[in-house]
Structure 1
Amino acid sequence: MIADERRRMAGLVESLTAEQLRTPSLCGAWTVKEVVGHLVAAVAAAKSSALPILIRSGFRLHRANAMLATRMAARPAGELAAMLRAHAESPFRPPIVGYPGQLTDLQVHGQDIRRPLGLPHELRPERLRASLDFLVGGRAIGFVPRRRPLGLRWEATDLGWTWGDGPLVRGTGEAVMLALTGRRPALDDLSGDGVAELRRRVSG
């Protein structure tokens, strides 16, 4: 699933214009191309180049990650797509988050790109379900603050997926996934008496 998502991302990158690549994404201050740079760096950056950046960042992982993504995004889009394809089958398994984290990273960042560009999400139901299970499973370090999903009942209306107890947060699996990971535009696509509390958690 991860390999296929990387190849699909490569195809998406190749289809985008220079203007689309410069478009702000849903992921913080990153442009679409910088999001792609992050996805490439996660699988293709050499350890020899990552270590100096980690040192310059003061060993702050999020800052190092942003620096590495920006450096990678300086490459031509076609080169980034080729790197995603070349490393699609990489067996690298990150600590703690493992393969579910990699799959979720690709799906969430895919939407960080597609939503601002008005492109259909084309998410696969079984992969989306795997990411939802991961995001509420307590091991999604760096994806979801531990308390965000707690005390709410989550329902993905198109997947028959539910989790938790409490005030209801309901929407498509795509919107639920993005809301769990703090993407504020997705909150407008949700309904239920738990959405107000979720907004407070995302904003806080």
Structure 2
Amino acid sequence: MGMIADERRRLADLVESLSSEQLRTRSLCEAWTVKEVVGHLVAAVAGSNGAALLLLVRSGFNIHRANARLAAQMAARPAGELAAMLRANAENPFRPPIVGYPGQLTDLQVHGQDIRRPLGLPHDLQPERLRVSLDFLVGGRAVGFVPKRRPAGLRFEATDLDWSWGSGPLVRGAGEAVMLALTGRHAAFADLSGEGVAELLSRTK
């Protein structure tokens, strides 16, 4: 929970540092701008449950469509307000089912890179937090993050962390790139090497 709270505060600092043009930049989540990604992360802890349920109903119970609409609604607020909401909810103890706190931490780290990479900003990820997310993504509980078949039969090695997992054709690279590739971000594949990279890429299409 302490890691999550700190990541929310760091994201708030980042949001306040961005220009209007940067906030309008297309993120690695291709359907969302940088500001809409921030809106999604704010909505996860600061949105009204009743409003979220109503949007889900109006979206035909399609959770991805409802999520996109909720993110867009949040993103209509001023950036400073979104940053303030992140800080106000930094220590919000909400624990989502199945994915739990590791899922929340991973959501913050992955979406943080969805923002930073297109803007050419350093990732500034903390090794111990990145390790938690890598363990989560290959651990079978990452519902909505990684289909179970995606990492199956492959070996992953982080070149900048004491972390590896699996057996089979190798996928090797910095922990940040491995995390993003596991979650289907094609922009990270250029930073990977090994005979398993092509197979992993084929599983993200």
What's the TM-score bracket when you normalise by the shorter of the two chains? Answer: over 0.9
Q: Which residue of 1 aligns with 2:95?
A: 93
RMSD of the TM alignment (CA)? 0.5
Query: Hey, what's the Cα distance between the residues in 2 that align with 1:19 and 1:185?
Result: 21
Q: Which residue of 2 aligns with 1:122?
A: 124
Q: Which residue of 2 aligns with 1:59?
A: 61
From 12, 16, 23, the equivalent of 2:18 is 16
Query: Hey, what's the Cα distance between the residues in 2 that align with 1:46 and 1:107?
Result: 23
Deviations 1:152-183 (A, max 9, x none): 00000100210000000000000000000000
Q: Which residue of 2 aligns with 1:77?
A: 79
Structure 2 unaligned residues grouped into runs of 5+: none
Determine whether 1:45 maps to 2:80. Answer: no
From 155, 158, 181, the equivalent of 1:153 is 155
Determine whether 1:68 maps to 2:94. Answer: no
Q: Tell me which moved more, 135-144 or 41-50.
A: 41-50
Query: Hey, what's the Cα distance between the residues in 1 that align with 2:150 and 2:133?
Result: 16
Partner amino acid, structure 1, of 2:6? D
Shift of 1:48: 2.1
Q: Which residue of 2 aligns with 1:2?
A: 4
Structure 1 unaligned residues grouped into runs of 5+: none
Give the total of aligned pairs.
Answer: 203
Q: Which residue of 2 aligns with 1:176?
A: 178
Q: Which residue of 2 aligns with 1:28?
A: 30
Shift of 1:50: 1.1
Give TM-score, length-normalised by structure 1.
Answer: 0.99
Residue 172 of structure 2 aligns to a residue in which SS? strand
Give TM-score, length-normalised by structure 2.
Answer: 0.98
